[in-house]
Amino acid sequence: MRELTHFIGGKHIQGTSGRFAEGFQPMTGEAITRVPLASRAEVRGAVENALAAQPGWGATNPQRRARVLMKFLDLVARDNEKIAETIAREHGKNIPDARGDIQRGVEVIEFCLGAPQLMKGEYTEGAGPGIDIYSMRQPLGVVAGITPFNFPAMIPMWKFGPAIACGNAFILKPSERDVSAPLMFAELMIEAGLPPGILNVVNGDKEAVDALLDDPDIQAIGFVGSTPIAEYVYARATASGKRAQCFGGAKNHLVVMPDADMDQTVDALIGAGYGSAGERCMAISVAVPVGEKTADELVRRLIPRVEALKIGPSTDASADYGPLITAQALERVTSYVDLGVKEGAKLLVDGRSFKMQGYENGYYLGGCLFDGVTRDMRIYKEEIFGPVLAVVRAKTYEDALALCNDHEYGNGVAIFTRDGDAARDFAARVKVGMIGVNLPIPVPLAYYTFGGWKRSVFGDLNQHGPDAFRFYTRTKTVTARWPSGVKDGAEFSIPTMK
């Protein structure tokens, strides 16, 4: 079993709290890592380290900060396979999926190379008699991110990349289930020339999270996870005066119109519903065919595809997906399948009995497909986060739109159709933050922002894209007048442009 560390001040630091969590290899069920859980004192030590380092980094010009990120990208490319294999071993996703996890993070770092442009303020000469006005963007100071298990490469990079590009020091608290990739990134950042103390990794559980939320020297918090925890983090962070962006759960619908290309639609549902064992906040978990004929055809085509899904160990690059992250996750998802049967939904494909030969202790679940799901069922209302797809039949387009709009989550949604008017109307009227038109997973590219609506998000600014640079900076506006030698006397009214 590998003994892991924190990464503070540019070096690996052994945990001193005396508390540890075991990390398991999902494909075998074997304990492979021992992760230290930080105390409040250890978190405070990381904050003090970051406080000491940040002023110098914040004073470094944006172009030089971008050069460090550019070198970091070269090093990630060099070590890409090693990082992907580590993610597959600790998370359970297969190697190609792990490469994709890294790549979507890399794309945000690439966007951050534009920091010299993105950090620019505005300037107005002669805004008033002898008066110039200009604005500037300045870093917040020390900021932190709390990231989930399902994307151990992508989401940490989404958080620390923009924060560091803006001149902040960053404290990352990754999921204790798969911490090795974030630790590797911290090492590579030092190799790329980042000053020690600017990127720190502190492992931990609720004690470490609360320490970050309460610390008066942390100016902002970013979080990704379940909605109840996102709401908790947002409330506690903002109560202590912090800026916060907290992203929660999802129940992403894919509306299938009668004119949709059914081959394309089924391929999309299989990939988006079952890829990465459904452990994605942007996974499609609800198919909404419009009309009985559409529904019957969709279900007829889905059944053999779900039955034929290839499930394999994380080392099998040809597998469609691998195991779930933990035994507890497997138990939770399986209990939702049990619940769906009890609620009266039709379980057309039952993956509960699946066993992986040679990996009987791994956390595997075969693909599950429900039909006849209704909006009052818990398997429709709640996020399952596993390889389970629910078919909810809609009589009309308006019924399908209402399903998407009425759900408490509003992360992502998709519509499959050949009708441009229908797609345009859907995009305009659906109350969801990210929309796909004939695309099942509408995650925007790095130069747009990522974020949902409703109870999928708490906070005003989204992840990556221009919003990230707004989130991690403060705007300062300067109004300047230089003496001309003319004495105007005291003014007692508010200055205006009259």
Contact (Cβ atoms closer than 8 angstroms) between residue 337 and residue 305: no
| CB-count burial class (<10 Å; 0-12, 13-18, 19+) for 335 | exposed
Q: At what angle do helices 180-191 and 62-78 cross, to 10 degrees?
A: 120
Give the Cα separation of 404 and 392 in Å (integer): 11
First to last CA, the chain: 73
Q: How many CA atoms lie within 13 A of 443 on its CB side?
A: 19
Name which of 362, 348, 381, 353 is nearest 316 in CA terms: 362
Longest dimension (CA), the chain: 90
How many other C-beta atoms lie within 10 A of the C-beta of residue 304? 10
Candidate list 112, 166, 246, 281, residue with the active-site label? 281
Task: Say which amino acid occupies 456.
Answer: S
DSSP lists the bridge partners of residue 349 as 369
Strand-strand pairing, 6-8 and 368-371:
unpaired
Strand-strand pairing, 20-25 and 30-36:
antiparallel
Can you list the pairs that 421-428 forms with residues at least 24 positions away whose Cβ atoms lie under 8 Å? 422/257, 422/397, 426/255, 426/401
246 belongs to the catalytic site: no
Q: Which residues are catalytic?
A: 281
